[in-house]
Structure 1
């Protein structure tokens, strides 16, 4: 059974529908590739998927450890090549992790390892550089 149905709406726009939930995502071609840039581009979604997957897997580990990551966020930068066929060459992710209290180094390492081994990170072609950084901040100073 399919997971997603995508329809071409014309004018370089698509609409993807998650069949189980009905949630929809629009994509547009980026301005630098003949599009309007009014929505995520398909390659933007690749970069967003990496970040979302990392945070989700970290959330699973954190929940198991009794750690609240609510309020954590990330900045994601997608870098395209300048020559040859268009493709993603680098995805930069800065995860700004917020926790209610200072976490021990081994716990932070466990969470970071989880992020690096999320399914999307492991599925991306090895030629796509994944530049991942973590900043840890606790709400209560140790």
Structure 2
């Protein structure tokens, strides 16, 4: 259900941003390297790293967390998935995988609950940046 809400928000944002000039907005490739201090990042496999501009929560991007913690961010824009993120400062949160019950339980035991909300995660990233963006979350 969480992914459905996210997709509706993204579609709404894509429609709202449809008029960003004749060539549209520019997207910067962003790779995040997520680590879990005191835990195993592989337990978050299949969960989503969600990023949003604080003053425009409809401007957001996301990517799936891989077993080694690598995340390639993508943006839904004008009905198409675009690789990368528009320039700006973003808040970051984790959305736990909801496709597999056991995987979700494992992920929920791995990461502290504060990282599941933009308001409390304390995580941010700036685009453009230099190379891979390192982010570390605390284990539960």
TM-score by length of 2: 0.29
Which protein, 1 or 2, shows the higher relative CO under an 8 Å CA cutoff with sep ≥ 6? 2
The structure number with the bigger radius of gyration is 1
TM-score by length of 1: 0.28
